[in-house]
Amino acid sequence: MILKDVLVSMPESKVLFREKVDGTTYVYYRTRTYRNKKGQPTNDVVAIGKKDNKTGKLIPNPRYFELFPASNHLNPKVPTPKLVQTTGSVVAMKDIANQTELLSTLKHCLPTKWEQVLATAFYMVSEGNVMMYISDWFENNNVDFTAHMVDVDCSRLFASITEEEKRLFFSEWIKCRGEQEYIAYDITSISTYSQNIVTAEWGYNRDNDSLPQINFGMFYGVTSNMPVYYQTYSGSIPDKMCLEFMMSTAKDLGIMNTSFVFDCGFVTEDNFCFMYENNISFITAMPGNRSEATKLIDMVKNSIEKSGNRIREYDVYGVKHTISMYGREINVHIYFDQARRLFETNEIYAYIDKLEAELKHLSKSKHVTKRHKDYFIIDEQSKSSFSYELDTQKLDDKLSRAGYFILLSYNLNLSSEEVLKIYREKDCIEKNFDQFKNGLDFKRLKTHQNKTMDGKMFVGFIALILRTYMKHLIKKNNDLNKLTFEKILIELKKIKTVTMSNNTKMLMPLSKLQKDIINTLSMDEVMLQI
């Protein structure tokens, strides 16, 4: 039953009516009457529903039940409202868990814990990862599949999740993917104030935090738009050292016959040889400071801008060559982007101006560094002073290569256009990291023990799957894709059910936007009332 089917008697006093052009009459209740600073009489009002034009009675909204919790304006034979709870966000996430097979996977792999894991993940999507408020969330949301939880229950849950359970989950979750797809791989850092987490160490921090950190490596399905697998590492281990372990672990879990996409930070001889020897297909970028990159750009820069080389979708030019790298054949795709050239040219000149300003300041002392000598000819006249002039030849060489970039592909059959499309889709993992660290509030580890940290990261990964897939569905709707995820959550939280005195439940009337969100997420509207 929808709540609009229930009519209550209109309050006898303190009521105001405002009729709209479409004939709808909104009803407001005066909560306070007073005089303003000018001595003029005024009042505060809140909307309590709409007037039913046929009967003259009130179609109540949630605020009505807050103002009149004990009153009974209904017929005595009709059950009275006793509880109003949010139902939209919980039902939405449960539907997503069903659609993605996440729910069945959790039930299979964590048969005694799945209810608490799922409820805690729902809370993280809705409110973030500070567990102290989960009791309030349970009171305000209709969570019908597990008992009420408090923050201590969360700590116990996190500590109870074993490595065997996580490994079984990942193995089964990978099977749910079904399709073979390109998988993006990258690492980010997550900081902590705790001194008790063993793997938290000082290292390269991507958020520029002066704190110890753990490293968080993740596989993300480019086609399915789904997080696939993650692993945490000691914070001091460089990214390039993790690739072999991550790939070996992925193979053990069943990720096979898959091509990987990663950035140039992983380009080392050891990593390439490992990928070659295990016949793992990959796409990556060639670091621009390698001597091979300079030679390849110089080889094509006078001939690349031809109509036959233009990739229309991205407005760039691209050519393919095969070279030998670390003893194996690999395709190099060299691209030229005119817009990128303009941007990089401006960046180079700005950097030159910065260096020159530094040299003017340092001219009476001897603190010239190598980066100054890269672009300036330094004449050290004495131990305490020097002169300088711009090395125009070096600068012109640098400018002549502005706008070029190179991608490497171990799949020799892909065209330059296909390689560029796949590599550009790699930014999905960066957006996923942003969702995890900012959307789910995992920029800091808000736990202080190693055991609870591991379990909390796992539940956070479950929350990330839910949030990512919801965003993916919303993005496909042209009418909703301009809304932020936070706005979508706000609208879902507005969807409420009223539990009556006879324990039946009724759904509050839905707005057009709420109905659009429900349809886009493929939710069953009937489930909102259960």
Phi and psi at residue 82, to the nearest 5°? -130, -15
Report yes or no: 334 and 318 within 8 Å, Cβ to Cβ: yes
pLDDT at 364: 58
Q: What angle do CA 509, 510, 516 make, to 5 degrees?
A: 165
Q: Round to whole Å and give the CA distance between 3 and 15.
A: 21
Report yes or no: 1 and 81 within 8 Å, Cβ to Cβ: no
Of the candidates 334, 350, 339, the one whose C-alpha atom is nearest the C-alpha of residue 404 is 334
pLDDT at 2: 47
Report yes or no: 495 and 520 within 8 Å, Cβ to Cβ: no
Tell me the pLDDT of the chain averaged across its residues.
84
Q: What angle do CA 428, 270, 244 make, to 5 degrees?
A: 50
Dump the DSSP string for 258-284: -EEE--GGG--HHHHHHHHHTT--EEE
Report yes or no: 79 and 500 within 8 Å, Cβ to Cβ: yes
Of the candidates 264, 260, 263, 255, the one whose C-alpha atom is nearest the C-alpha of residue 282 is 260
Instruction: Please indicate whether residue 466 or residue 182 has the higher confidence score (pLDDT).
Output: 466
pLDDT at 74: 47
pLDDT at 1: 43
Helical spans, DSSP H, in 29-86: 62-67
pLDDT at 13: 85
Tell how far CA 347 is from the center of its chain. Answer: 29
Least confident piece of the model among 13-17, 306-310, 467-471: 13-17
CA atoms within 13 A on the CB side of 144: 16
Assess whether pLDDT exceeds 70 at residue 76: no
Give the pTM: 0.76
User: CB-based contacts of 169: which residues, under 8 Å, 6+ apart?
Assistant: 105, 106, 109, 110, 458
Averaged over 81-91, what is the pLDDT?
83
For residue 190, the tally of other CB atoms under 10 A from its CB is 26
Q: Round to whole Å and give the CA distance between 146 and 134.
A: 13
Rg of the Cα atoms in the chain: 30
The pLDDT-based confidence of 399 (bands split at 50, 70, 90) is: very high
Tell me the sheet residues that pair with 283: 261, 409
Report yes or no: 202 and 167 within 8 Å, Cβ to Cβ: no
Q: Round to whole Å and give the CA distance between 260 and 422.
A: 10
For 234-292, what is each residue's pLDDT tens digit?
A: 867 776 777 777 888 777 877 766 778 888 878 888 888 888 888 888 888 988 777 88
Report yes or no: 367 and 361 within 8 Å, Cβ to Cβ: no
Dump the DSSP string for 175-187: HHH-S--EEEEEE
Helical spans, DSSP H, in 87-234: 88-99, 102-109, 114-127, 134-140, 151-160, 163-177
Q: For residue 80, which amino acid is it?
A: T
Assess whether pLDDT exceeds 80 at residue 313: yes
SS3 188: strand
SS3 11: coil
pLDDT at 380: 72
| Cα distances (angstroms) measured from residue 107 to each of 74, 102, 155, 169, 361 | 43, 9, 20, 10, 66
Q: What is the dihedral of CA 332, 338, 339, 344, to 10 degrees?
A: 70
Tell how far CA 7 is from the center of its chain. Answer: 43
The pLDDT-based confidence of 109 (bands split at 50, 70, 90) is: very high
Q: Round to whole Å and give the CA distance between 242 and 246.
A: 6
Q: Round to whole Å and give the CA distance between 365 and 386.
A: 8
Q: What angle do CA 378, 381, 386 make, to 5 degrees?
A: 45
SS3 362: helix
For residue 505, the tally of other CB atoms under 10 A from its CB is 17
